[in-house]
Amino acid sequence: MTAARESIHGQWSSRWIFVLAATGSAVGLGNIWRFPYITGESGGGAFVLVYLACVVLVGLPIMMAEILLGRRGRRSPINTMAALAEDEGLKPAWRYLGWMGVLAGFVILSFYSVVAGWAVAYIVYVASGTFAGATIETSQGIFDGLTGSAGSLVLWHSLFMVMVVVVVARGVQGGLEQAVKYLMPALFAMLLLLVGYALFSGDAVSALHYLFEPDFSKITGDAVLTALGQAFFSLSLGMGSIMIYGSYLPNDASIPQTSIIIAAADTLVALLAGLAIFPIVFGYGLEPGQGPGLVFITLTIAFGHMPGGQFFGGMFFVLLTVAAWTSAISLLEPVAAWMVESFGWSRLKSCLVGGGGAWLLGIGSALSFNHWAGFAPGGRNFFDWSEFLSTSVLLPLGGMLIAVFAGWRMRLASTMEEMGGGPSAMFRAWLGLILFVAPVGVLVVFLEGTGLRALLVDALGRLAASVFG
């Protein structure tokens, strides 16, 4: 069945290119910017352990499911879901799951590009010596100066979006493949160099204690939820990215094997990012739990004082930019591929329209930090709403439905065929996780993240009171 289908967009030249591309999608701002600061806020080593469990028990099975669906459908997520629903004799409404994914990708791209723009701006700032001798106040001032200026934010956001469109417009083999082939090895090399620099010039011992010494009293319900949400975002799950990358995967590549490599590489990069950041932060007696400002405000102070700080600091932000770039192309790809398939547009036109739309939406996020800062219906500004709707609503909902579709709705014969044939131990383990553990885990994240759980508990409480009270 699958062998009969071919993607009109082409195919990866090898499974290793697929691994690089999917790792490029997974490794992004989530690993290098977000993972270290939430680890900082959520108690270090204990959080890391919970995170690892979430990756293995929930992230990995859903990643396999997404690749499986993509490779079987061989189209953009919307058309893949429509085709698979038909193959499996299911309701055509399943295509809305594809819609949710593409929509989530579009919205994530809009604000992701704004934050990636900060990273691009910081390459220039740090490398040109702006942080020389910086204090907490001056560093905070530089960050506020950037985010307070709508013009600067839009400029950097635009530059980043152009970089994304240029790659995706050149197609799967001519654009995406070429980009990841050079950028991913460069990313790993820079990361290792930075870890070496941090371990030698910072306080490695404190950083290792902080990252790896588990304090189980810190494992609260909140920490588990944060870890699960982070695992999901970091592995690029719940939307069309991994699915569409799977649609370009050669038939003979093993889905379990490639998924394990991708998830392991993503986790390794997150941990290495911690090892590149915390030794420096501790070495300069700075506060590790500073939230989103950790790399932009805290880390830059240290770079402003260290020998070689200008060079290595500049490299750190090049690393962050490259990581964001290879993720952003995976956010535009599903949107562009869908336009090519559905409207018969050229790839260039599809990328200009898709990327242009996300750019426009991103302006709203850029303005949330300055002119529109006061506009916050429901306590969230435009940026917060974009992030909330995509990552707290659409991603978990999409991930849960993907698990339900692959586990509960598809024929076993179909999933088994994609996962390598017989009912191997690997297949049975996957099935157990995708049937029960993954959907429940993601449902909990969804209910908690949207505040629905509190509403439900409240409503049940009232009901009980009125019945029994």
216, burial (CB in 10 Å: exposed 0-12, middle 13-18, buried 19+): exposed
Q: Does 226 bind ligand PFF (CB under 6 A)?
A: no
Residue that is written with structure tokens 């839009």 in the block: 154
Contact between 240 and 402 under an 8 Å Cβ cutoff? The reply is no
Q: Is 248 helix (H, G, I), strand (E, B) or coil?
A: coil
In whole angstroms, the minimum distance from the beta carbon of 32 to ligand PFF comes to 8
Cβ-based nearer residue to ligand PFF, 28 or 364:
28
Question: At closest approach, how far in Å is the CB of 324 from ligand PFF?
Answer: 7
Q: Kindly tell me which of 270 and 433 has the beta carbon lying closer to ligand PFF.
A: 270
DSSP state of 249: S
3-state DSSP helix/strand/coil percent for the chain, to nearest 5? 80, 0, 20
| Cβ distance to ligand PFF smaller for residue 131 or 359 | 359
> What radius of gyration do the chain's Cα atoms show?
22
Angstrom distance (rounded) from CA 1 to CA 332: 28
Per CB under 6 A, the list member of 11, 18, 24, 28 interacting with ligand PFF is 28
- Can residue 241 be called a binding residue for ligand PFF (CB under 6 A)? yes
90, burial (CB in 10 Å: exposed 0-12, middle 13-18, buried 19+): middle
Report, in Å, the least distance between residue 120 CB and ligand PFF: 15
Integer Cα distance of 269 and 284 in angstroms? 23
197 binds ligand PFF (CB under 6 A): no
Q: In angstroms, give the least distance from the CB of 29 to ligand PFF.
A: 4
* Residue nearer to ligand PFF on the CB measure, 24 or 288: 24
Q: Interface with ligand PFF includes 30 (CB under 6 A)? A: yes
* Residue 372 Cβ vs ligand PFF, minimum distance, rounded to whole Å: 24
E runs forming strands in 105-255? none
Residue 214, Cβ density class (10 Å: 0-12 exposed, 13-18 middle, ≥19 buried)? middle
CB 172 within 8 A of CB 246: no
Residue 330 engages ligand PFF in binding (rule: CB under 6 A): yes
d(CA 9, CA 1): 19
* Listed ranges 5-13, 28-36, 138-146, 188-196: which one lies at the site for ligand PFF (CB under 6 A): 28-36
Q: Which of 23, 113, 226, 234 forms a contact with ligand PFF (CB under 6 A)? A: 234
Neighbours of 326 (CB within 10 A): 25
Residue 274 structure tokens? 């911690």
- DSSP assignment, residue 94? G
- Concatenating the DSSP letter of every residue in 1-52 gives -GGG---TT---SSHHHHHHHHHHHHSSHIIIIIHHHHHHHTTTHHHHHHHH
The residues in 254-273 that bind ligand PFF, with binding defined as CB under 6 A, are: none
Report the C-alpha gap between 298 and 306 in whole angstroms.
13
Binding letters toward ligand PFF, positions 272-311, x by CB under 6 A? ----------------------------------------
Give the one residue of 118, 125, 197, 233 binding ligand PFF; rule: CB under 6 A.
233
Among 83, 239, 299, 404, indicate the residue that binds ligand PFF (CB under 6 A): 239
Minimum Å distance from CB 329 to ligand PFF? 9
Establish if 236 lies at the interface with ligand PFF (CB under 6 A). Answer: yes
Q: Which of 7, 11, 23, 31 binds ligand PFF (CB under 6 A)?
A: 31
113 binds ligand PFF (CB under 6 A): no
Nearest distance, CB of residue 239 and ligand PFF, angstroms: 5
Member of 100, 280, 322, 331 binding ligand PFF (CB under 6 A): 331
Shortest approach of ligand PFF to residue 230 CB, angstroms?
Answer: 9
Based on the shown chain and the rule CB under 6 A, indicate whether residue 327 belongs to the binding site for ligand PFF: yes
CB of 145 to ligand PFF, least distance (A): 25
Tokens at 105, concatenated = 């990708």
**Nearest approach, Cβ of 14 to ligand PFF (angstroms)?**
22
In the Cβ-directed half-sphere of 99, how many Cα atoms lie within 13 Å?
Answer: 6
Minimum distance from residue 458 beta carbon to ligand PFF (Å): 32
- Please pick, from the candidates 20, 21, 22, 29, the single residue that binds ligand PFF as defined by CB under 6 A: 29
Give contact residues for ligand PFF (rule: CB under 6 A).
Answer: 25-26, 28-31, 105, 108, 233-234, 236, 239, 241, 327, 330-331
